[in-house]
Amino acid sequence: MALFQRTSPIKKILAGKITLLLIVSNIAVYLVAGYLDTRAFESLSQTSFLIDWGGNVPALTLSGEYWRLFTSMFLHVGFLHLAINMLALWSLGIILEARMRSWVFLGVYLLSGLCGSLVTALWHRDEFFLSCGASGAILGIFGAAIVYGLHDRRMGRPHIPPGNLLLSLALTFGAGFAFDVDNAAHLGGLLAGALLAGLALCAERLRPVAAAAVLAGAGMIGAAALAVVTLDNHDRDMQQQIAAARFEHTLGKMGLLQSAKAPASALILDACVDRALFEAAQGGSAAPDLRRCIKPGDREQALLATFMPRRYQDCLAQTVELQQLYPDAAARKALAGAEQYCAMQTGIYAALFQEQPVELEVEKALQTRLLMKFLVDGGRKFRTDSAPLQAQANAMQGILRRPGELASAIIGRSGCPYWSCARSR
C-alpha cells in the first residue's frame, strides 16, 4: 500500500507559489473589476460587463479581438463561480506544481487556458456565445495531473492522490453545471494539458539544460500554433459587421439615427446649438452665443458635459477603423465627413461647457453638421443634385445596413444598458 508523505502547510504553500499567484490574480481581477464597474454585481447588466471586460465572445474574438482568449481566463460570472474554480485549482495545483517545475506548471496552465478559449471560439463562431472563467486552464491542469499520475503509478512512486483529482474534477464540472457548461473550453484545455504533460515527462529523461531547451521550444511552438490557427480563422466579414454595428450604435446614442437611443436633454441641447449657429451666421458673427443653451445647475446637462464628449471620441476612433475596413472611395469620403463632424461636435461641447472661449468657425460648423445629417438621412428628408454627395450618402447607408443579426445582437448587449451608466467605466 502506497503511503503519501505528509508535508507542513507552509511547505505546501511554498511549493505551490505559482498556484497561489494564479489564485490571487483571479481574485484581484474580480475585486478590482467589481470596484471599478458596478455592473459586475447587477444581474441585468452582467452580460455587458463581461463583454466589455474581455469575455470570450467568438464573433468578437475571431474578428480581431484576440486578447479575449487570455482575458476571459481571469473573468468570472460571480463569487460562487470564482470560489469553486479557485478551490479546484488549489486542491490540484499545489500537488501538481510540486511534481513539476513551477514555470512548466505555469506554461501548462496558460497554454491550456488559451487552447480552451480558442476551441470555444471556433466551436461557437456562428452564435452569440459568451464564455469566461478559469475552468479551461484548470481542466488543462487536470489533464496533466492524470498523465503524471498514471506515469508515476506505473513507475511505482505515486505522487498525486486520487482524492485530489476527484475533488478538482467535481468542483470544476460543478461550476460548469451551475453556470452553464462550456464543453469546448473543457475539452480543449483537458487535451492540451495532457499533451503538454506528456512532453514534460519526456523532457525529464534529458539533462537539465537540454530539458529546459526542449520545454521552452515546446512552449513557443505551442503558442505559435495557437497564433497561426487564430489568425487563419480571422473573420474579416464579421470584423466589418461589428465595426459598422458599433458605429451605428454610437450614432444612435448621439441622436443621429434612432432619437430614442439618445438622451432627450442631448437632443434639446443640439437643437439650441443649431439655432445659435444659424443666428450667428445670419448676423455675420464669428462667435456664436452657445452658452445661452446652458442652464446652470441642470443635472442632466452636467451629465451630458461628461459623457457626450466620450461618444464623439468613440465616433472619431470608429470612423478611422471603418475607413480601413471599407476602402471604397465614396465610403472613405463619407466616413471622413463623419470624422469631421465628430471632431466639430467635440469642439462645440467644449464651447458649451468650458468657461474659456473656444474658437469655432460658424460656417464650417453649419456645413459639417448639415453634411452629417444628409449622410445618415438615407434620402428621407434631404435631396441633392450632386452625384458625389449622393454616392457618399449611399455608401454611408450601405455601412449602416452592413451589420447582420449576430453583430447587432452582440453590440446591443455590449456597453451599458442605459446611457448614463458610463459613470462606472
Q: What's the confidence (pLDDT) of residue 424?
A: 34
Q: What's the confidence (pLDDT) of residue 14?
A: 65
Rounded CA-CA distance 46/302 in Å is 27
Cα of 350 vs its chain's centroid, Å: 30
From residue 172, alpha-carbon distances to 2, 28, 79, 131 in Å are: 27, 20, 14, 15
Q: What's the confidence (pLDDT) of residue 423?
A: 36
Asked if 411 and 417 touch (Cβ cutoff 8 Å), the reply is no
- pTM metric for this prediction: 0.86
Instruction: Name the grid cell of 160.
Output: 498525486
Q: What's the confidence (pLDDT) of residue 1?
A: 36
Backbone dihedral angles phi then psi of residue 56, each to the nearest 5 degrees: -85, 95
pLDDT tens-place values along the chain, 425 residues long: 344 445 556 666 666 789 999 999 999 999 999 899 888 887 778 888 999 999 999 999 999 999 999 999 999 988 888 998 899 899 889 889 988 888 999 999 999 999 999 999 999 999 999 999 998 999 999 899 989 888 887 877 766 776 667 776 676 666 556 566 778 898 899 999 999 999 999 888 888 889 899 899 999 999 999 999 999 999 999 999 999 999 999 998 888 886 557 788 888 888 888 888 888 888 776 677 788 888 888 888 888 888 888 999 999 999 999 999 999 999 999 999 999 999 999 988 888 887 666 677 888 888 999 999 999 987 677 777 788 899 999 999 999 999 999 999 999 888 754 333 443 33
Q: What's the confidence (pLDDT) of residue 305?
A: 87
Residue 65 burial (CB count, 10 A): 16
Rounded CA-CA distance 17/13 in Å is 6
Q: What's the confidence (pLDDT) of residue 256?
A: 87
Q: What's the confidence (pLDDT) of residue 404?
A: 93
Backbone dihedral angles phi then psi of residue 91, each to the nearest 5 degrees: -60, -30
Q: What's the confidence (pLDDT) of residue 41?
A: 81
Amino acid at site 201: L
